[in-house]
Amino acid sequence: MKPLPVIGAVPLSDDCASEPIHIPGSIQPHGLLLTLSEPTLVVLQASANVNTVLGLGGESLCGQALGSLIGADALAQVRLALVDLDTDEDELRPVTLNGDLFDALLHRHQGLLFLELERAVTPRHAAALHVARALRRLQSAKSLDGLYQICVTEIRALTGYDRVTLYRFEQEGHGKVIGESLSDGMPPYLGLCFPASDIPPQARELYRLNWIRVIPDAAYTPVPILPALRPDTGQALDLSFAVLRSVSPVHCHYLKNMGVRSSMSISLLKDDQLWGLITCGHREPLRVPHELRTACTSIGQLLSMQITLLQEQEARRQQQEKTSMIDALATAMALQTCDVMESLRPHAQTLLNLTAADGLAILVEARLHRFGVCPTEEEIRALYPWIQAQGKGVVCSHQLGAEFPPAVAYQAIASGLLAFRLPKPVDNAVMWFRPEVQTTVHWSGEPIKSREAGTTTLSPRLSFERWKQQVDGKALQWSPSELLAVESLRRHALEHDLARQVQREHAAVRARDELVAVVSHDLRSPLTILLMQCGMMRKLVPVDDTKASLRLTSAIETMQNATSRMNTLLEDLIDISRIEAGRYRVAPQPLDVVTTLEQLGLMWQPLAAAKGVNLTWQAQPGLRVEADPERLFQVFSNLLGNALKFTGLGGAIEVLAQAADDHVLFRVCDNGAGIDAAQLPYIFERYWTSREGNPTGSGLGLYISHGIIQAHGGTLWAESVAGQGSVFSFRLAAAP
């Protein structure tokens, strides 16, 4: 069987994810472990092999003083190590026990002092020279791939393992082999993957907490800790930070299946999270001296920092590339006059490169353009309403079939979706597709399920089969830089689309203004002639009361009224065109308010009297206002005209003016029909007319009046109660 790569990882059996691997109750047999109380250094628990190694017989060690077990010289070394431990320095001390040399390792955890005594091993060579060379080479690495290869090569040279492999954890949790150094006869794993389930969460946490983990001989017999529970708490002993901690039997069996007898794992961290592992394996038992393990830990720590540094450099380089691509796409959108989505079509390869996608689709109204490996046109059109329903500018998924069930049918080519659309009433979108992870990862041979007879332990090949199940229907996740790039591209597309809409609206306004100008010019002359002819005709009609004369006079008057109304409508249309184009101009000048209202009264008093309406006006003395006299009279004409139109016989209209801080407040009040509350919010809109009592109104007067007051920097508003009357008010700046 050709094994797949999980050296130093913990494969997942049915119960592995819940296995309490931090409290195994035993240690590996190449060392001794004691837990001590402080400051008395009294033994609380000890591994069962302490009595044998130290020649103490079969008596219980619990409650005995440490010095009585290891002797005065060893105790002195332990106390020196404690001083270094207090100052956070190297806590390793050599001690001689029963004629054998041991490395004494100390750490504190959960109120206990842990003393681990590991049989010393003489290094094959001095670690210092190898470490110095390794550190220099790591620091000089120019690329991530080069960094990975230097790391595995140096660690294998330093330790003598048959295989040193570097794994990186992917976003989905599974791992990928990205670096490898082998001795002859070891099968290569470079580029292969292993499932996230091979390293359950509790194992990953222990890797995060400890830089290094060593198993000198996976065929060992565990040594129990006595007593099994802590005497002080009655709880199981937590060995999370113990170097000698026994490992899961499942893991040992897994190593056997891989043909590996000993292993070592070095953790790689990024932002205090487990980024990857350096795993070492050997076909025979192998003890790595503490000095070399410390050197490997230093290499792992430096590698972690170098990985972060080079990844940041690579991220900046990729971001610069993406920025260049976005700039090119934005330029293309700016140069074209067609729909912005359509303008992206000639740049399909750039769009694919932008997100490292395999397929691309651009939807522009009824037109759908596809590039690369994509679902069918029918499948994409069925997908679009779901994208639209998400209500987001950018939509992304790396497991589309789980979120949009019809996509399961094409998950092999489109398990990943990244798309954006613009807020337009027509169909539009740019969609990127990624295939299922299984189609983008290489492996060696067809994975075959295999279980050892009578066990539930996964073999390497079955572990890989589990990985295939875990990634079924999933694509590589879209990276943050890819999401940011698409967000940026959408912003550019939105800006250019809005710019084109504004250009179209400006063109429409210019066309309308030109039409209004032409119509005004071409109609004014004939209307003026028509009015003159009506005046001449009236002079020719006999002044008598015959039916013929009366009918002729009435017809001429009707023609004159219609012509005058057409003239007024033309003036209104010209005003509207100027207001909406932002070109409405006024020429304010100081006006005496009392004089202005008196002039209005002289004009409108005869009209009010003829309808039986009492028109009055009142102004505070000395008020002056900054206003264009012609435009101000136009506003009053509209307001008074409406008031007269909707005020019946015997009604009253009052025009008031009073000071309001540095403004003058004008009010036109009537007790006429009033305006329905439902219509009141809309009375200043174009073409608004009251539904009753105004069959001939154009609905432009109030809209124009509102624009005139705004052009003066003032405000115009209305209050009304149906059946009781209305008050139209506006403010204008007071003149000095």
At 527 the pLDDT is 61
User: Pick from 27, 87, 102, 35: which is nearest to 66 by CA?
Assistant: 35
Residue 64, both tokens: 């005995």
Same domain membership, residue 602 and residue 526: no
156 occurs within a structural domain? no
Of 593 and 188, the one with more pLDDT: 593
Same domain membership, residue 595 and residue 570: no
Of 302 and 376, the one with more pLDDT: 376
Range of weakest confidence among 194-203, 236-245, 439-448, 595-604: 439-448
Range of weakest confidence among 255-259, 473-477, 600-604: 255-259
On whether the CB atoms of residues 503 and 496 are closer than 8 A, the answer is no
Q: Return the amino acid letter for 668.
A: V
At 447 the pLDDT is 36
Same domain membership, residue 671 and residue 612: yes
Same domain membership, residue 112 and residue 40: yes
Same domain membership, residue 545 and residue 609: no
Q: How confident is the model at residue 515 (pLDDT cuts 50, 70, 90)?
A: low
Cis peptide before 20 (omega within 30 of 0): no
Which among 560, 580, 600 is the end of a domain?
580
Look at the block and give the residue holding tokens 């305006």.
675
1 occurs within a structural domain? no
Q: How confident is the model at residue 395 (pLDDT cuts 50, 70, 90)?
A: very high
At 2 the pLDDT is 31
728 occurs within a structural domain? yes
Whether residue 386 is predicted with pLDDT greater than 90 in this model: the reply is yes
- Return the CATH number at 511: 1.10.287
Range of weakest confidence among 75-84, 88-97, 161-170, 377-386: 88-97
Q: Which helix (H) or strand (E) holds 175?
A: strand 175-182
Same domain membership, residue 624 and residue 563: no
Which among 64, 93, 119 is the end of a domain?
119
Work out the average pLDDT over 248-266. 86
Which residues are CB-contacts of 94 (< 8 A; sequence separation ≥ 6)? 77, 101, 102, 103, 104, 120
Whether residue 445 is predicted with pLDDT greater than 50 in this model: the reply is no
Given the DSSP bridges, would you call strands 614-619 and 652-660 parallel, antiparallel or unpaired? parallel
CA distances from 272 to 267, 275, 502, 603 (A): 11, 9, 50, 86
User: Pick from 110, 118, 117, 119: which is nearest to 23 by CA?
Assistant: 110
pTM: 0.60
Mean pLDDT score of the chain, rounded to an integer? 83
Q: How confident is the model at residue 667 (pLDDT cuts 50, 70, 90)?
A: very high
Range of weakest confidence among 501-505, 521-525, 529-533: 521-525
DSSP conformation letters of 349-397:
HHHHHHHT-SEEEEEETTEEEEEES---HHHHHHHHHHHHHT--SEEEE
Distance CA 273, CA 267 (A): 10
The answer to whether the Cα torsion of 182, 188, 190, 193 is positive or negative is negative
DSSP conformation letters of 115-144:
EEEEE----SS-HHHHHHHHHHHHHH--SH
Whether residue 280 is predicted with pLDDT greater than 90 in this model: the reply is yes
Helix (H, G, I), strand (E, B) or coil at 114: strand
Same domain membership, residue 695 and residue 568: no
596 occurs within a structural domain? yes
Model confidence pLDDT, tens digit, residues 38-61: 999 999 999 999 998 888 877 889
Q: Residue 95 pairs with which residues in a beta bridge? A: 102
Total of domains in the chain:
3
Same domain membership, residue 721 and residue 623: yes
- Return the CATH number at 670: 3.30.565.10
On whether the CB atoms of residues 17 and 246 are closer than 8 A, the answer is no
Which among 544, 559, 580 is the end of a domain?
580
At 214 the pLDDT is 95
Percentage of residues of the chain with pLDDT beyond 90: 44
Q: How confident is the model at residue 170 (pLDDT cuts 50, 70, 90)?
A: confident
Cis peptide before 227 (omega within 30 of 0): yes
At 529 the pLDDT is 66
- What's the burial of 316, exposed, middle or buried (CB within 10 Å: 0-12/13-18/19+)? exposed
Residue 171, both tokens: 């976003």
Model confidence pLDDT, tens digit, residues 684-734: 887 665 544 444 444 577 888 888 888 888 999 999 998 899 999 999 999
Q: How confident is the model at residue 171 (pLDDT cuts 50, 70, 90)?
A: confident
Same domain membership, residue 720 and residue 597: yes
Whether residue 470 is predicted with pLDDT greater than 80 in this model: the reply is no
At 60 the pLDDT is 86
Residue 173 DSSP code: S
At 92 the pLDDT is 79
On whether the CB atoms of residues 80 and 92 are closer than 8 A, the answer is no
Same domain membership, residue 704 and residue 653: yes
2 occurs within a structural domain? no
At 433 the pLDDT is 97
Distance CA 540, CA 687 (A): 39
Distance CA 388, CA 420 (A): 9
| Range among 284-298, 397-411, 495-509 rated most confident | 397-411
Whether residue 629 is predicted with pLDDT greater than 70 in this model: the reply is yes
User: Pick from 221, 190, 223, 209: which is nearest to 265 by CA?
Assistant: 209
The half-sphere exposure of 689 on its side-chain side, counting CA atoms within 13 A, is 12
User: 525: domain range?
Assistant: 504-580
Backbone angles phi and psi of 58, in degrees to 5: -105, 10
Same domain membership, residue 599 and residue 569: no
Q: How confident is the model at residue 63 (pLDDT cuts 50, 70, 90)?
A: very high
Residue 538, both tokens: 């009236």
Given the DSSP bridges, would you call strands 175-182 and 359-364 parallel, antiparallel or unpaired? unpaired
Of 294 and 235, the one with more pLDDT: 235
At 6 the pLDDT is 36
Range of weakest confidence among 189-193, 211-215, 423-427: 189-193
101 occurs within a structural domain? yes
113 occurs within a structural domain? yes
At 231 the pLDDT is 93
DSSP conformation letters of 545-586:
--HHHHHHHHHHHHHHHHHHHHHHHHHHHHHHHHHHTT----
At 222 the pLDDT is 95
Same domain membership, residue 675 and residue 543: no
662 occurs within a structural domain? yes
